[in-house]
Amino acid sequence: MNKEYVFERCVRFGDCDPGGMLYTPRISYFVVEAILDFVSQCFGAPAEKSIIGLGVLPPTRSFKVEFLKPITWDDELEIHVSLRELRKSALVFLVNGFLVTDKVFTAELTQVCINPQTRQPTDIPEKMRLVLENYG
């Protein structure tokens, strides 16, 4: 489960605060976009439709981020995504952002599979587990 997927994202003017630095809440968009692109690549189809089609919803349980260096307007980020862990009902993703070879942020996002009707945790669907485990 240590294979990495690489997602590229340019920091736009609207992603920044008045000082020209990446506005802190925007990093969550970058991380989620990269993870969804990774999951789409794994399924060979849009992530959202693929996951919902398996009868589960994947809300975020936890999100941690550490900024290591400044990120500014027009920076071309290379975002590396890997699946750190598959639990009974949760998926843990590790996401690292780079500018050239400098790591500028690291994040971890945990999603939980829930039943759409009961809103209670449910097992990761077997197809989802297989698709994610066999990426690459």
How deeply is 64 buried, as exposed, middle or buried, from its count of CB atoms within 10 A (0-12, 13-18, 19+)? exposed
Q: Which CATH architecture has domain 4-133?
A: Roll (3.10)
Give the pTM: 0.94
- In the chain, domain spans: 4-133
3-state secondary structure 79-102: EEEEEEEECCCEEEEEEEEEECCE
Instruction: Give, for all 136 residues of the chain, the pLDDT tens digit.
Output: 558 999 999 999 999 999 999 999 999 999 999 999 999 999 999 999 999 999 999 999 999 999 999 999 999 999 999 999 999 999 999 999 999 999 999 999 999 999 999 999 999 999 999 999 888 6
Q: Decide: helix, strand or coil at residue 78.
A: strand
